[in-house]
Amino acid sequence: MGRGNKTHGMKKTRTYKAWESMRRRCFNPRAVNYENYGGRSITVCDAWSRFENFLADMGECPDGLTLERNNTNGNYEPGNCRWATPVEQTRNRRITATIEIDGRTRVLGEVCAERGVSAHLVHCRLRSGWPVNDRLFMPSLRTSLGA
């Protein structure tokens, strides 16, 4: 009688489910988000076709975190992935507005929150052609007057 394949025993873990979801998004055209991953030619590195290699590179998924690609246009591979919080994931989306300020590219919503001004107001000002400077982040006259 032959021996069955040895398994890693992690099929029901968060880490395995993250690996499985990553592969599904990239390789299964019927997957819910395929058009945002495989449909955009985002793929998984060859080494990560085996769960054991993914686990060795990424470690176990900590509670409350999910798999994220640092470069949202890049592939799933060791240098481009990490475990991230939902807030970090939200800030690292293709549609997240960024702004060049103080020589760094920052998430616009973070800068607005730090400076106590509405991100919507700043978006409107930018669309109206305001330059990126301290005036951009001044509270509106309504807010200042308590209206």
Q: Report domain extents, the chain.
A: 14-85, 98-144
- The band of 2, judged by pLDDT with boundaries at 50, 70 and 90, is very low
Rounded distance, CA 84 to CA 66, Å? 5
- The band of 87, judged by pLDDT with boundaries at 50, 70 and 90, is confident
Tokens of residue 133, six digits = 């400077």
pLDDT tens digit sequence for 28-82 = 999 988 998 999 999 999 999 999 999 999 999 999 999 999 888 899 999 999 9
**What pLDDT shows up at residue 146?**
54
Question: What pTM, to 2 d.p., does this model score?
Answer: 0.63
Tokens of residue 13, six digits = 């873990």
* pLDDT exceeds cutoff 80 at 102: no
Contact present, 47 and 15 (Cβ < 8 Å): no
Residue 84 main-chain phi, psi, to 5 deg: -135, 155
- Burial (CB < 10 A; 0-12, 13-18, 19+), residue 27, is middle
